[in-house]
Amino acid sequence: MIFQMALLTFQNVSKIYPPYFKALININLKIYKGDFVILTGPTGSGKTTLLKLIYREEKPTSGEIFYEDVPYSKLKKKELSLFRQNLGIIFQDYKLFPELTVYENIKISLVLSQKFVKNDKFLIYEYLERFKLSEKAQKKVKELSGGEQQKVGIIRGIIRDPEILIADEPTGNLDPSSINEILEILKDFHEKGKTIILATHDPIILNQNLGKTIRLNRGELVEDV
Ligand SMILES: Nc1ncnc2c1ncn2[C@@H]1O[C@H](COP(=O)(O)OP(=O)(O)OP(=O)(O)O)[C@@H](O)[C@H]1O
Ligand SMILES: [Mg+2]
């Protein structure tokens, strides 16, 4: 067997929110390039916290996370920003600008990514079409339904074609047929060789056997299949 270096490694990682709430306790795990990781567990078990540690919105209280073989704590600012450019994030709370239009919200994420896109208008409409949102392009985000906003959040996460996609409950507000559509989109994305880390308790997704399942309970990793 050829040695494959893990893309991300958690080594004895704990996260304590001040003053003393243990959100994650001694987590050890490895994620490889091309994995489709499903992170599950009850509300409050630490899924979002684990994802935030990956995209560095939070830092571990103890332990270390490695990107390939480099500890995060040793990543220089420039390396960290490069790493973030390879990362697409679908936030549990969408993080959209309510006063801007759907189109503008997506455009901003393309501009911020600094990735050169030849015809971004065409690309944005292609995605809107795929997500059945073309008619809403010029509507303000605050005028959309929760599920429609969630779809815009998903487009923002994947439109830059990142190498690693972090998706935090991306289907929480969607009906079963929309969930299945999103799943097809995520599967296609994964088939291009991308790495996906998806937090969910959606039974439709959990029943699909998409890849490795990691289960958290009260901050502890109880199952790593
Ligand atoms: N910034 C914070 N400060 C203090 N406690 C926090 C903070 N963020 C999360 N927590 C606590 O850490 C625990 C884990 O939260 P987290 O958001 O990671 O759970 P989750 O598994 O994503 O839950 P859900 O399924 O509801 O999204 C919760 O009990 C939460 O109250
Ligand atoms: Mg969460």
- HSE toward the beta carbon, residue 193, CA cutoff 13 A: 1
| Each residue's pLDDT tens digit, 22-45 | 999 999 999 999 999 999 999 999
| Each residue's pLDDT tens digit, 69-113 | 899 999 998 888 888 889 999 999 999 999 999 999 999 988 887
User: Torsions phi, psi of 73, nearest 5?
Assistant: -65, -15
Distance 43 CA to ligand 1 centre (A): 8
CA nearest ligand 1 atom 19, residue: 44
Distance 111 CA to ligand 2 centre (A): 27
pLDDT band at 225 (very low <50, low <70, confident <90, very high): low
Count of other CB atoms within 10 angstroms of residue 98:
12
User: Is 9 touching ligand 1 by the criterion CB < 6 Å?
Assistant: no
For the CA of 216, the closest atom of ligand 1 is 21
Distance 21 CA to ligand 1 centre (A): 10
* Mean of pLDDT values over 53-62: 96
Distance 48 CA to ligand 2 centre (A): 4
User: Is 20 touching ligand 1 by the criterion CB < 6 Å?
Assistant: no
Distance 166 CA to ligand 2 centre (A): 12
CB-based contacts of 100, cutoff 8 Å, min separation 6: 108, 140, 141
| Each residue's pLDDT tens digit, 39-50 | 999 999 999 999
For the CA of 21, the closest atom of ligand 1 is 5
Residue found by looking up tokens 């291009």 in the block: 192
Residue 96 tokens read as: 């959209």
End-to-end CA distance of the chain: 20
Distance 49 CA to ligand 1 centre (A): 6
* Mean of pLDDT values over 139-162: 95
Rounded CA separation 148/84 (Å): 26
CA nearest ligand 1 atom 8, residue: 49
| Each residue's pLDDT tens digit, 157-212 | 999 999 999 999 999 999 999 999 999 999 999 999 999 999 999 999 999 989 99
Rounded CA separation 183/200 (Å): 12
Judged by its nearest atom, the ligand closest to the C-alpha of residue 24 is: 1
User: Is 114 touching ligand 1 by the criterion CB < 6 Å?
Assistant: no
For the CA of 51, the closest atom of ligand 1 is 18
Rounded CA separation 31/45 (Å): 19
Rounded CA separation 174/70 (Å): 38
Judged by its nearest atom, the ligand closest to the C-alpha of residue 45 is: 1
Instruction: Give residue limits of the domains in the chain.
Output: 96-160
User: Torsions phi, psi of 219, nearest 5?
Assistant: 85, -5
pTM over 0.85: yes
Closest C-alpha to 157, from 112, 106, 200, 208 = 106
Closest C-alpha to 67, from 54, 52, 85, 81 = 54
pLDDT band at 117 (very low <50, low <70, confident <90, very high): confident
Rounded CA separation 101/83 (Å): 28
